[in-house]
Amino acid sequence: MNNPQTITLALTGASGMPYGIRLLEMLLREGKQVYLLYSKVAQIVAQQEMNLALPSSAKETEAFFNRRYQVPDGQLRVFGREEWFAPVASGSNPADAMVICPCTMGTMAAVAAGLSQNLIERAADVMLKEHRPLIIVPRETPFSVIHLENMLKLARSGAVILPANPGFYHHPQAVQDLVDFVAARILDHLGVKHDLIARWGAE
């Protein structure tokens, strides 16, 4: 998809929260309308990995990121896990694309099975049934056969499986460079412009 305007970003409880938070920053910087969803365990991981305290209230989280990234009210909308009247819950008003980053194996399994037991799973299900771009960023190692079978099932259903595997050919000097590599690959697949890393073969 070229230049999507509305993007759903879901943060789940896998390790790799810096990827998701950097992606949120870049999407907001590029002026995209972002629908943010996050699991309860994602709050724990954000605190553990980034010392980032995500409020339990969707409105408080919205205000927190609006201040953090200095974005206007309305550009970022945060929805609770059971907020079934959110736009992302219906195929009549889906976002242009969705990213689950980082994605737990449990969330991936639920999406592959079409369970839709919370808003993250339902939003992903909407993407698949409406044939909209869904990017899943698993952060686990090693993968079991069950994990791989779920990835294959989702790929066959139209999702992009984009593991959080940073490259090293751009000579990273800091952890942030590795984070930016993965965020850049996600943005590329969304069709969102960025300047996070130099292009291969570019001067």
Does 195 fall in a domain?
A: no
Asked if residue 63 is part of any domain, the answer here is: yes
Mean pLDDT of 110-118: 97
- Sorted by sequence, the CB contacts under 8 Å of residue 1 that are 6+ apart come out as 96, 97, 132, 133, 190, 191
Known binding residue 107? Answer is yes
Could you tell me if residue 43 is inside a domain?
Answer: yes
Give the mean pLDDT of the chain: 96
- The predicted pLDDT at position 1 comes to 59
Looking at the domain assignment, is residue 196 inside a domain?
A: no
The answer to whether 108 is annotated as binding is no
What's the pTM?
Answer: 0.97
Does residue 9 carry a pLDDT above 80?
yes
The set of residues, in sequence order, having a beta carbon less than 8 Å from that of 167 and lying 6+ positions away, is: 181
Beta bridge partners of 11: 38
Q: Is the per-residue pLDDT at 95 higher than 80?
A: yes
- Read off the pLDDT of residues 135-151 as tens digits, 9 standing for 90 and up: 999 999 999 999 999 99
Give the number of residues written for the chain: 203
Whole domain around residue 78: which residue ranges?
Answer: 6-190
Q: Is 106 annotated as a binding residue?
A: yes
Would you say residue 114 has pLDDT above 90? yes
| Measured distance CA(116)–CA(114) in Å, rounded | 6
Q: Is 58 annotated as a binding residue?
A: no
Is residue 146 included in any domain, yes or no? yes
Position 63 pLDDT exceeds 90:
yes
Give me the number of domains the chain comprises: 1
| CATH assignment of the domain containing 45 | 3.40.50.1950
32 within a domain of the structure (yes/no): yes
Cα distance between residue 183 and residue 23, in whole Å: 6
The answer to whether residue 158 is domain-embedded is yes
Residue 1 counted as an annotated binding residue: no
Q: How far apart are CA 52 and CA 49, in angstroms?
A: 8
